Chains A and B, each alone.
Chain A
Amino acid sequence: MEKKILDKPFVRVYPELCKGCELCIDACPPQVLKFHEKFNSKGYHYATYIGENCTGCGICYYACPEPEAIVVYKKGYEYEGEEVA
Chain B
Amino acid sequence: MASKILQKPEAFYKRYERNPSSDKKSPHYCPGCGHGNVHKFIAEALDDYNVADQTILISPVGCSVFAYYYFDTGNIQAAHGRAPAVATGIKRAHPHSIVISYQGDGDLAAIGTAEILHAANRGENITVFFVNNAIYGMTGGQMAPTTLVDQYSTTTPRGRNPHNEGYPIKVAELISQLEAPVYVERVSLHDTKNRNKARRAVRKALKNQIDNLGFSLVEILSPCTSGWKMDAVPSMKWIEENMVPQFPLGVFKDITDEVEPYERPEMDLSAQDIKKALGLEVVESESFEKPDFPNKYKNPEIKVAGFGGQGVLLLGAAMAQAGMLEDYHVSWLPSYGPEMRGGTANCHVNIRDIEVGSPMVTNPTVLIALNRPSLEKFENDVPEGGLIIYDTSLIDIEVKRTDVEVMPLPATKMADELGNTRTANMITLAAYAAYTGIFSKETLYETLNTAIKHKKFIDINKKAIDLGYEFGLKSKLS
Q: When the two chains form their complex, are residues A66 and B195 in contact, meaning their CB atoms are under 8 A apart? A: no
Q: When the two chains form their complex, are residues B232 and A74 in contact, meaning their CB atoms are under 8 A apart? A: no
- Chain A residues contacting B225 (CB-CB under 8 Å) are 21
CA distance A29 to B192 in the complex (A): 10
Number of interface residues of A (CB under 8 A): 32
Taken residue by residue from 59 to 78, chain A's Cβ proximity to chain B (1 for < 8 Å, 0 otherwise) reads as: 10111111110111111111
- Chain B residues contacting A44 (CB-CB under 8 Å) are 31
Number of interface residues of B (CB under 8 A): 37
Beyond A17-B25, A19-B31, whether A66 also contacts B36 by CB under 8 A is yes
Beyond A62-B196, A65-B35, A66-B36, whether A21 also contacts B25 by CB under 8 A is no
Taken residue by residue from 1 to 41, chain B's Cβ proximity to chain A (1 for < 8 Å, 0 otherwise) reads as: 10111111100100000000001011101111111110111
CA distance A62 to B6 in the complex (A): 9
- Chain A residues contacting B1 (CB-CB under 8 Å) are 58
Is there a chain B Cβ closer than 8 Å to A16's Cβ?
A: yes
Is there a chain A Cβ closer than 8 Å to B43's Cβ?
A: yes
Q: When the two chains form their complex, are residues B70 and A67 in contact, meaning their CB atoms are under 8 A apart? A: yes
CA distance A29 to B193 in the complex (A): 12
Taken residue by residue from 33 to 64, chain A's Cβ proximity to chain B (1 for < 8 Å, 0 otherwise) reads as: 00000000010100000000000001101111
Among A16, A65, A72, max chain B CB count under 10 A is at A65
Beyond A17-B26, A23-B32, whether A72 also contacts B6 by CB under 8 A is yes
CA distance A75 to B27 in the complex (A): 30
CA distance A25 to B116 in the complex (A): 37
Q: When the two chains form their complex, are residues A22 and B233 in contact, meaning their CB atoms are under 8 A apart? A: yes
Is there a chain A Cβ closer than 8 Å to B91's Cβ?
A: no
**B70 CB to nearest chain A CB (Å):** 7
Q: When the two chains form their complex, are residues B26 and A22 in contact, meaning their CB atoms are under 8 A apart? A: no
- Chain A residues contacting B39 (CB-CB under 8 Å) are 65, 67
Is there a chain A Cβ closer than 8 Å to B150's Cβ?
A: no
Q: When the two chains form their complex, are residues B31 and A21 in contact, meaning their CB atoms are under 8 A apart? A: yes
For residue A19, which residue of chain B has the nearest CB?
Answer: B31
Q: Which of B213-270 contact A (CB under 8 A)?
A: 225, 231-233, 236
For residue B196, which residue of chain A has the nearest CB?
Answer: A62
**A8 CB to nearest chain B CB (Å):** 12
Q: When the two chains form their complex, are residues B192 and A59 in contact, meaning their CB atoms are under 8 A apart? A: yes
The one of A6, A23, A42 that contacts B236, using a Cβ cutoff of 8 Å:
A23
**A38 CB to nearest chain B CB (Å):** 17
Is there a chain A Cβ closer than 8 Å to B191's Cβ?
A: yes
The one of A22, A59, A73 that contacts B4, using a Cβ cutoff of 8 Å:
A73
Q: When the two chains form their complex, are residues A71 and B6 in contact, meaning their CB atoms are under 8 A apart? A: yes
Is there a chain A Cβ closer than 8 Å to B199's Cβ?
A: yes
**B65 CB to nearest chain A CB (Å):** 17
CA distance A61 to B37 in the complex (A): 9
Q: When the two chains form their complex, are residues A68 and B32 in contact, meaning their CB atoms are under 8 A apart? A: no
CA distance A20 to B225 in the complex (A): 13
Q: When the two chains form their complex, are residues A67 and B12 in contact, meaning their CB atoms are under 8 A apart? A: yes
- Chain A residues contacting B232 (CB-CB under 8 Å) are 21-23
CA distance A60 to B39 in the complex (A): 16
**B183 CB to nearest chain A CB (Å):** 21
- Chain A residues contacting B196 (CB-CB under 8 Å) are 62
Q: When the two chains form their complex, are residues A66 and B192 in contact, meaning their CB atoms are under 8 A apart? A: no
CA distance A50 to B23 in the complex (A): 26
CA distance A36 to B23 in the complex (A): 21
**B138 CB to nearest chain A CB (Å):** 16
Q: When the two chains form their complex, are residues A68 and B8 in contact, meaning their CB atoms are under 8 A apart? A: yes
Q: When the two chains form their complex, are residues B25 and A58 in contact, meaning their CB atoms are under 8 A apart? A: no
Beyond A17-B25, A65-B40, A67-B36, whether A23 also contacts B233 by CB under 8 A is yes
CA distance A21 to B192 in the complex (A): 15
Q: Which of B298-320 contact A (CB under 8 A)?
A: none
The one of A6, A65, A77 that contacts B36, using a Cβ cutoff of 8 Å:
A65
Using A68-B12, A73-B4, A74-B6 as known contacts, list a sample of 12 further A-B pairs with CB atoms less than 8 Å apart, ordered by residue number in A.
Answer: A21-B232, A59-B192, A62-B37, A63-B192, A65-B31, A65-B40, A67-B36, A67-B70, A71-B5, A72-B6, A72-B7, A74-B4
- Counting from the closest, the 4 A-B pairs by CB-CB distance are A65-B36, A21-B32, A19-B31, A68-B8
B residues whose Cβ falls under 8 Å from a Cβ of A:
1, 3-9, 12, 23, 25-27, 29-37, 39-41, 43, 70, 191-192, 195-196, 199, 225, 231-233, 236
